[in-house]
Amino acid sequence: MKSLINIAVIIALVFAFTGCNKPENKQVANTKLAIIPEPETVKLTSGNFSINKNTTVYCNNESLLPVANYFNKKVSDALGFNLKIVVGEGDGINLILSDDSDNILGNEGYKLNVTKKSIAIIANKANGVFYGLQTLRQMLPPQIKSKTLQFDIKWSVPCAEIQDRPRFVWRGLMLDVSRHFFTKEEVKEYIDQLAEYKMNIFHWHLTDDQGWRIEIESLPKLTEKGAWRAERVGDWWQREPRGKDEPTIYGGFYSHDDIREVVKYAQERFVEIIPEIDVPGHSLSTIVAYPEISCTHTVKDINVGNKFYTVDENSLCVGNDQTFEYLDKIFTEIAALFPSEYIHVGGDECYKGFWEKCPKCQKRMHDEHLENTKELQSYFIKRMEKLLHEKNKKLIGWDEILEGGLAPNATVMSWRGMENGIKAAKAGHKVIMTPTKNCYLDLYQGEPSVEPATYSMSRLSDSYSFEPVPEGINPKLILGGQGNLWTESVPNFWHAEYMTWPRGWALAEVFWSPKENRNWEDFVSRVEKHFERADFAKINYAQSMYNAIVTPVSGENGELKIKLDTEIKDLDIYYTFDNTNPYYLSSKYESLLSVPKNASRIRINTYKGEKPVGKLISLDIGMLEGKLKK
């Protein structure tokens, strides 16, 4: 019986994914296929191409065989059979590298033509074919990760003509593995998921105050001491420091072989890994391992999430030549492990108070004629740029590297809003835009009372409304952007997925699709289809877009009024003040609410028709009044 139910679900999804009847919208090229990111142009034609046990994948070039094998591996579990893969052309799925380069498609674009007899994916480069296959996969029903359920059903793809290419060359996600360690298998899974949405950059934040995560053979204490800390749960910055003789058993690191394995895995998915070694600040785990390159030599324990900033030293001593000797050893090994032309050196939130009291740092400032510690950090970054250049690498840093003067060829990652990115671009530097409001995936994505604890707010609509190119700035200097998942409040991988999706889907569309194609309502309808796909693939995600938005406002006489809203349209909001849970027969929100006398709580939920879709929100009236007074 369960198998029959699943077959029915799959058949229903075939129709759901290939025949959504939406009105024509001039701003949206694709009105029927639930594809993320939205392709540049889509023309649907009549009929379907059927995939069966006799379907062959043809490659017109042997270099496409790995791409074909990737596709087969991804779909074979759901199909219940393997596709035959050969070099050549025929009636089947044709993967074609163009003999004559199409300037319109560039290095990553593709054409996808589906007829009743065959499918053709044409591109100038193998990665373009790979992205075409990702679109093709989304034209199929959801693909199950398990081989335990196989169905004898007809798999079909709607006939269509698609032309597509990315808007930006930098389309990334960052994962912080210092605050909480993620295994190499989890990292590979994260890379796989971002690649399926045509993202091509994985920014790997490998070191910070709470852990050093990569083996450096010439400096073994970095992982012997720096990769392990006392085990803790609870709110970040509210934890007790490590106690005397408390074991340091929480953590982990990646060996050189692990790194090579992950790099190879990413390359097979046309994802470039950007390693980040965060210096000169955020280096507490470094100086615990090697205190001789700190200013005070006093820090003994890896931070566990307790308050320490400005109290415990976490910056490298820039006045010590030994610091640069150690950094040369570190980046020599990093450069050999990662083929990317870029290495990220952090440069953010560097507390300079210990430099001001350090004789070695003060001597460096005197010898180099530096007026203040901001210029001392600039000295450090410029020296790092030279060190990386000697290893044929380019430097990227967070936007604080602008302070005191920017290194000549540095690329700036602008996170404190867009202003510093604009400043860097006006000075002729390449910029990656990743402002907190739109791109920080560790922030709340809905009403905080029903979300896992974190701070600040970045809703799905904030991510989708992001525009990386400011007015008046040369767009050629904006490489693109990325989402950043800091993991202070992300202790495991399934929560990393929850925080990433669907906001990561929104950013994938921002970075890939033409700006003029963006349409919020259409995107939401496609997200709902991708929720279904994620369910089948056992990928966690947040449904926070369905939750009510609650805003306390002041009435004419300063009394509390309550405004309710939703992030997406076509939801009804029901509420109660009598301490019962709202139902679709409860009071429906129509306009600004007054609070009844002696009411202690308001409870709220959103519905589609008679079905609840949001999370039940229960808020204390006194708390709302307190927010209003602030």
What pLDDT is recorded for position 19?
35
Length of the chain: 630
What pLDDT is recorded for position 152?
54
Total number of domains in the chain = 3
Helices (H), 80-169: 126-139
Q: Count CB-CB contacts under 10 A for residue 354.
A: 19
Q: Per the domain annotation, does 491 fall within a domain?
A: yes
Could you write out the three-class secondary structure of 389-417?
A: HCCCCEEEEEHHHHCCCCCCCCEEEECCC
Burial 399-432 (b: 16+ CB within 10 A, else e): bbbbbbebbeebbbbbbeebebbbbbbeeebbbb
Q: Is residue 9 predicted with pLDDT exceeding 90?
A: no
Q: Is residue 620 predicted with pLDDT exceeding 80?
A: yes
CATH of the domain at 495: 3.20.20.80
Contact 370, 382 (CB under 8 A): no
Q: Is residue 146 predicted with pLDDT exceeding 60?
A: no
Q: If you average pLDDT over residues 338-345, what whole number do you get?
A: 98
Q: Which of 354, 454, 351 is nearest to 403 (CA)?
A: 351
Q: If you average pLDDT over residues 230-247, what whole number do you get?
A: 96
Q: Are residues 389 and 442 in the same domain?
A: yes
DSSP string, 427-453: TT--EEE--HHHHBTTSB-S-GGGS-S
Q: Are residues 193 and 144 in the same domain?
A: no
- Model confidence band, residue 92 (pLDDT cutoffs 50, 70, 90): very high
The secondary structure element, H or E, covering residue 479 is strand 478-485
Q: Per the domain annotation, does 522 fall within a domain?
A: no
The secondary structure element, H or E, covering residue 264 is helix 256-268
Average pLDDT score over the chain:
93
CA–CA dist 305, 250 (Å, integer):
12
Domain final position from 465, 492, 512: 512
How far is the first Cα of the chain from the last one, in angstroms, to the nearest whole number? Answer: 57
Q: Which two tokens stand for residue 256?
A: 């050189």
Q: Are residues 95 and 174 in the same domain?
A: no
Domain final position from 454, 487, 512: 512
Q: Which of 583, 545, 532 is nearest to 450 (CA)?
A: 545
CA–CA dist 108, 481 (Å, integer):
17
What pLDDT is recorded for position 616?
98
- 304 φ/ψ angles, rounded to the nearest 5 degrees: -105, 5
Q: Per the domain annotation, does 576 fall within a domain?
A: yes
CA–CA dist 30, 46 (Å, integer):
15
Q: Are residues 316 and 237 in the same domain?
A: yes
Q: Which amino acid is at 550?
A: V
Q: Are residues 136 and 211 in the same domain?
A: no
Q: Which two tokens stand for residue 18?
A: 């290939």
- Model confidence band, residue 17 (pLDDT cutoffs 50, 70, 90): very low
Chain segment 289-321, per-residue pLDDT in tens: 999 999 999 999 999 999 999 999 999 999 999
Chain segment 474-515, per-residue pLDDT in tens: 999 999 999 999 999 999 999 999 999 999 999 999 999 999
- 483 φ/ψ angles, rounded to the nearest 5 degrees: -95, 145
Catalytic residues: 208, 282, 349
- CA 257, 262, 265, 269 dihedral sign is negative
Q: Which amino acid is at 217?
A: E
Q: Is residue 144 predicted with pLDDT exceeding 90?
A: no
What pLDDT is recorded for position 143?
63
Q: If you average pLDDT over residues 19-35, what whole number do you get?
A: 49
- Model confidence band, residue 20 (pLDDT cutoffs 50, 70, 90): very low
Contact 207, 276 (CB under 8 A): yes
Within 13 Å of residue 294, how many CA atoms lie on the same side as its CB? Answer: 23
CATH of the domain at 576: 2.60.40
Q: Is residue 12 predicted with pLDDT exceeding 90?
A: no
Q: Per the domain annotation, does 54 fall within a domain?
A: yes
CA–CA dist 514, 509 (Å, integer):
9
- 506 φ/ψ angles, rounded to the nearest 5 degrees: -60, -45
What percent of the chain is modeled with pLDDT above 70? Answer: 93
Q: Per the domain annotation, does 528 fall within a domain?
A: no
What pLDDT is recorded for position 25?
36
Q: Is 65 exposed, middle or buried (0-12, 13-18, 19+ CB in 10 A)?
A: middle
Q: Is residue 615 predicted with pLDDT exceeding 90?
A: yes
Q: Is 280 exposed, middle or buried (0-12, 13-18, 19+ CB in 10 A)?
A: buried
- CA 616, 621, 625, 627 dihedral sign is negative
Q: Are residues 603 and 620 in the same domain?
A: yes
Q: Is residue 115 predicted with pLDDT exceeding 80?
A: yes
Q: Are residues 196 and 128 in the same domain?
A: no
Q: Which two tokens stand for residue 60?
A: 């017109």
Which residues, 6 or more positions from 629, have their beta carbon under 8 angstroms from its beta carbon? Answer: none
What pLDDT is recorded for position 457?
98
CA–CA dist 240, 406 (Å, integer):
38
Q: Are residues 320 and 407 in the same domain?
A: yes
The secondary structure element, H or E, covering residue 334 is helix 321-337
Q: Is residue 373 predicted with pLDDT exceeding 70?
A: yes
Q: Are residues 80 and 144 in the same domain?
A: yes
CA–CA dist 504, 495 (Å, integer):
14
What pLDDT is recorded for position 142?
76
CATH of the domain at 147: 3.30.379.10
Q: Per the domain annotation, does 282 fall within a domain?
A: yes
Q: Is residue 612 predicted with pLDDT exceeding 80?
A: yes
What pLDDT is recorded for position 585?
95
Domain final position from 147, 164, 181: 164
Q: Per the domain annotation, does 533 fall within a domain?
A: no
Q: Which of 235, 418, 211 is nearest to 301 (CA)?
A: 211
Q: Are residues 138 and 200 in the same domain?
A: no
Q: Is residue 39 predicted with pLDDT exceeding 80?
A: yes
CA–CA dist 21, 499 (Å, integer):
31
Q: Which domain holds residue 553?
A: 547-629
Q: Are residues 82 and 228 in the same domain?
A: no
Q: Per the domain annotation, does 526 fall within a domain?
A: no
Q: Are residues 368 and 328 in the same domain?
A: yes
CA–CA dist 266, 184 (Å, integer):
12
The secondary structure element, H or E, covering residue 594 is strand 593-594
Kindly report which listed range (90-104, 499-513, 552-566) carries the lowest average pLDDT score: 90-104
